[in-house]
Amino acid sequence: MNRIPLADVVKWLQAAGEPSRLRLLALCTEGALSVSDLAQALRQSEPRVSRHLKILSEGGLIVRMRQGQWVHYRVADQAEAASFVRGLLAQLDRSDPVLLRDRTGARAAAAPRIERAAHGAESRLGRAIAGFITASGLSEPRGAVLVIGVSHPELLECAARASPRCTAVAPSRRAAQAARAFAERRGLSCRILKGAGVELLGDADMVRLGEAFAAVLVDSSAGEEAFARTLQRARGLLAPGGRLCHRRGGGGGRGRACGMSDESCAMNAESGRTPIRVSFEFFPPADEAMGAMLWKSIERLAPLAPRFVSVTYGADGSTRERTHNVVTRIQRETPLTGAPHLTCIGASREEILEIARGYWDEGIRHMVALRGDPPRGEGARRPNPRGFRYASELVAALAGLAPFDISVAAYPEVHPEAGSAAADLENLKRKIDAGATRAITQFFFDTDAFLRFRDALAAAGVHAPIVPGILPITRFPQVLRFAKACGTSIPGRLHERFAGLDDDHETRRMIAASVAIEQVEALRRHGVSEFHFYTLNRAELTYAICHALGLRPHARSASAALQEARA
């Protein structure tokens, strides 16, 4: 019998040692439940339940799992922790009225979502399979292919039809037999092997498979640690230039087909993760010197091929002309996609739409639609009586004017003027419903706040991309002022890390890069692959962060194209 270290036992007892957390732990053994489900079951607020779940997760007793468009919690995979939880819960009386009420409430809360998931599973699975195949490169037959896991036989069929040399590894003898029967019914030519249980690939399997594969597709519902070990072995089977493509989610055939979502597949042969995509924000310069710095920053960051670059719009439209000049120059002289900010405040509907028409006529197709703020020192905003009152109205008007790609703002920690988190979420939903393509968040440093926000949006039926805004900290006092103005919390750890560095520029830059890289990596572990950087017109720190995250200049850089356009 394995003995558990004292420190681990103390940590687990501290995590579980509170009535609500013990009740949550019991519910996490009942099935896949979201924060919303658990909050309804316990009759507590979602923020309170989220805090309890965070403590249980940090204590190693539960894990947070993303499955399709929603997130659920379950008991940890780690053997000692799982054994501890089972032993602890075995001491509870399952007929206790409180626990019975919790279970009944959780089932009732989860039922509508489960019904919706089952209803949409077929179409989601079809789209997911298509995306999986495209991401792995199988749309163009290119050598031997290995499928690890056969939870979704449709994936096996696509791989077998795309490659004349297809091998599949099933997690059990029964799964292998079912896969062989499916292949025979469909007339597929593929080799199907029984793997090493949950991890699918053992050392013996590595030897038995023998060859190097042009593509390895991993489709598994294994726990996090087992899944990571499977990926590590899978990388060793790739041929030079081969692609590793993976999904981790529910298996078990069509009944849980929603375990595969429409999200991008990881397909990096070295890291097994989706390469990140970025966009950058700049502000229009106030003078010639600042203009030179702005264009130097654009030239520096352009080779990273951002999805778009946005240019801000001053309070009350005060930089309208400068914003226009920067965006049109970007459009004219670079291969970048310029995205001007456009705000409601201060102008009439006719004036705003005239600006938008002008942008469209100059070839600009992407807009960032915002409500806007009054100029500093003028107190509460006073909308133009003939203007748009809300950003959702502006979005609807832009969408009706021309097929713009429209980005809007989102607030993971709630807009300072919102009456509540629910009201803020509903406001964002109105903007998406009005025609917005994506939402870019205000900068934040609390990763859990973003993830809770994303989960709440998914639960509310908002499925547009939510792109996290990343602010590299160049000057900490400045960031504190920004944060106070927009309601962003600053964790104590950041105060500690930047303490005493006001006059130490080089150390401050290194700490700032480290903080931003840690934040992006934490978000990537939860499936986020797109990021919007607030550059403050300074390129070096943002470029260094992007480089550390794996972004590299394109073969023919946008910067070179910019220089050619000027010649």
Beta strand 438-443 pairing with 466-470: parallel
Contact between 335 and 561 under an 8 Å Cβ cutoff? The reply is yes
Closest listed residue to residue 198, CA positions, set 146, 163, 233: 233
Task: Reduce the secondary structure of 372-396 to three states and give it as a string.
Answer: CCCCCCCCCCCCCCCCCCCHHHHHH
Kindly provide the b/e burial profile for residues 180-203, where b requires at least 16 CB atoms within 10 angstroms of the residue's own CB: bebbeeeebebebebbbebbbbee
Q: Where in the chain are the domains?
A: 6-92, 120-259, 277-566
Query: Whole-model pTM?
Result: 0.55
pLDDT of residue 265: 36
Q: How far is CA 509 from the centre of its chain?
A: 26
Q: Say which CATH superfamily domain 120-259 falls into.
A: Vaccinia Virus protein VP39 (3.40.50.150)
Q: Which CATH class is domain 6-92?
A: mainly alpha
Given a contact cutoff of 8 angstroms between Cβ atoms, the answer to whether 79 and 67 are in contact is: no
d(CA 488, CA 22): 31
393 is catalytic: no
Q: In the chain, which stretches have pLDDT less than 70?
A: 1-4, 9, 30-32, 65-71, 77-79, 111-142, 151, 196-211, 221-225, 240-242, 247-274, 315-318, 373-384, 554-567
What is the identity of the amino acid at 394? L
Distance, in Å, from the CA atom of 98 to the CA atom of 78, rounded to the nearest integer, reads 28
Same fold, 6-92 and 120-259: no
pLDDT of 196: 61
Q: Is 435 left (phi over 0), alpha (psi -120 to 50) or beta?
A: left
Q: Which SS3 state, helix, strand or coil, does residue 357 take?
A: helix
Using an 8 Å Cβ cutoff, are 395 and 356 in contact? no
Instruction: Please report the beta strands in 44-119, taking only residues with DSSP state E, as ranges in sequence order.
Output: 62-67, 70-75
C-alpha distances out from residue 518 to 95, 511, 513, 515, 544, Å = 45, 11, 9, 5, 13
CATH classification for the domain delimited by 277-566, as one of 3.30.379.10, 3.40.50.300, 3.20.20.220, 3.30.43.10 = 3.20.20.220
Exactly one of 199, 281, 393, 530 is catalytic; name it: 281
